[in-house]
Structure 1
């Protein structure tokens, strides 16, 4: 608790002396382990994905209370291994964050063919259950503190709810509570984060940003993350039911 209060005080002090926060951070994706289960065809596909370790980059643009996280080569890259690698850290679309409102928003992925493009604007809450540890390490000459978040979840493509823990290393020296994907809300920039079978590492930090790169997404309907996944589940059930009925009609 004392460490936590000290870090909060340090973070607040740094924010006071930093009148304007501008950052461009590049994160590189690494895979911690390989999944050797499944059919030979699946293994072949995943082998291509794991070869992308250290080759897939994301950019985080920060300007004061706003940030924008996006894949460096976009989501329209035709390379299947690249597209699958993007999904491993639970990324599907660029994420826009408003730190004052504590909101993370993004558009529904066009890869889900049963929803229209830009049909939904999905809103996520900040992670609020970080536990700051006493352990520290130096990353790129910067002292970082360890934080752990347990009991996070995501919806598998088949509708199954998967729980996982997250380990982050953040740097109070860099006074912004941002991080990759939708992981933030710590008293300092997250320089490294591990969860599931991936690790994202900040490999470049610039204290400047092109503000035009921070884009607020739009959608026809705003829904929560939980509501959106329920809609996806219902849509998949409906389409599966229709397909089964069509097959029975042909018999």
Structure 2
């Protein structure tokens, strides 16, 4: 295993050095499954399917990752909503959000707008503890290698604001426990950049497929060294906060939404999404 790791890293270093201006774009499609058990046993299968249909735009998305040797920007491709199929307003991208990474500065900035306020979530990029394997498969024209790790998910679980009141005791018992997720990445040393979709990076090649918890991201198109030079802009508009501070702010807001949702349910009717 150690020899495999050294070989990959050596290949990555040589390839990167030989292509100082290496850059490109990668398009991804993303699909997230929802844990319907959070809604309790009150919903029928028909109601659950209706819920999934309304949440489709929130659970199925496409993204574009632009990258150079030292920087990358991951941004959602925003489409016009189809009438009657739009999901919840919270957590929806307005076309301005992105995740910026700088390998040179070891800094990640998530640009996001929530509850009509713009935030820049600034985090230090510590080297991910990937476990490299010799397992391979083919994605398009690229041979990809498997890497795995288990991490704590520190992002906000927006779906929890709709959990049923009957599940509160169970949720209270677990709210202080860290949410751990298993991550599986498939990367290609043929594309010599240490970049990837969402918040993931740190492998000796571009990540073309990612499975993290309930979310799967798959690269559908790659454009390398386009004629038009790629310029990646570092986000600079918004209130700078650390992840812990941002989570605290959003949790307070989502708790308010949860109370409203449950209150409407107790008032004789179901809350609308």
Equivalents in 1 of 2:149, 2:86: separation in Å? 28
* Structure 1 residue 168: Cα displacement: 0.2
Equivalents in 1 of 2:246, 2:233: separation in Å? 22
- Alignment-derived partner of residue 178 in structure 1: 195
The answer on whether the counterparts of 2:8 and 2:189 sit within 8 Å (CA) in structure 1 is yes
Cα 1:35–1:96 change in 2 (3 A) is same
Is 1:58 the equivalent of 2:79? no
Equivalents in 2 of 1:29, 1:235: separation in Å? 26
* Structure 1 residue 134: Cα displacement: 2.0
Is 1:227 the equivalent of 2:265? no
* Structure 1 residue 197: Cα displacement: 2.1
Equivalents in 2 of 1:65, 1:87: separation in Å? 29
Equivalents in 1 of 2:195, 2:7: separation in Å? 19
- Alignment-derived partner of residue 8 in structure 1: 9
Cα 1:46–1:25 change in 2 (3 A) is same
- Alignment-derived partner of residue 23 in structure 1: 24
SS of match in other structure, 1:123: strand
Equivalents in 1 of 2:223, 2:243: separation in Å? 31
Is 1:121 the equivalent of 2:120? yes
Is 1:191 the equivalent of 2:208? yes
Which 10-residue stretch deviates more, 120-129 or 2-11? 120-129
Q: 1:166 aligns with which of 183, 205, 215?
A: 183
The answer on whether the counterparts of 1:104 and 1:124 sit within 8 Å (CA) in structure 2 is yes
Cα 1:176–1:229 change in 2 (3 A) is same
The answer on whether the counterparts of 1:122 and 1:228 sit within 8 Å (CA) in structure 2 is yes
Cα 1:87–1:134 change in 2 (3 A) is farther
SS of match in other structure, 2:235: coil
Which 10-residue stretch deviates more, 147-156 or 39-48? 39-48
- Alignment-derived partner of residue 44 in structure 1: 50
The answer on whether the counterparts of 2:24 and 2:230 sit within 8 Å (CA) in structure 1 is no
The answer on whether the counterparts of 1:63 and 1:211 sit within 8 Å (CA) in structure 2 is no
SS of match in other structure, 2:113: coil
Could you tell me which runs of 5 or more consecutive residues in structure 1 were left unpaired when the two chains were aligned. Answer: 244-251
Could you tell me which runs of 5 or more consecutive residues in structure 2 were left unpaired when the two chains were aligned. Answer: 162-174, 261-273
Any idea what the Cα deviations from partners look like across 1:153-203, whole Å, max 9, x if unmatched?
133134855321110000011000111111111110001001222211111
Would you say how many aligned residue pairs link Structure 1 and Structure 2?
230
The answer on whether the counterparts of 2:57 and 2:87 sit within 8 Å (CA) in structure 1 is no
The answer on whether the counterparts of 1:34 and 1:50 sit within 8 Å (CA) in structure 2 is no
Aligned runs of 1:53-92 on 2, under 5 Å?
56-73=61-78, 77=81
SS of match in other structure, 1:155: coil
* Structure 1 residue 52: Cα displacement: 8.5
* Structure 1 residue 218: Cα displacement: 1.9
Equivalents in 2 of 1:216, 1:206: separation in Å? 21
The answer on whether the counterparts of 1:60 and 1:69 sit within 8 Å (CA) in structure 2 is yes
- Alignment-derived partner of residue 108 in structure 1: 112
SS of match in other structure, 1:109: strand
- Alignment-derived partner of residue 246 in structure 1: none
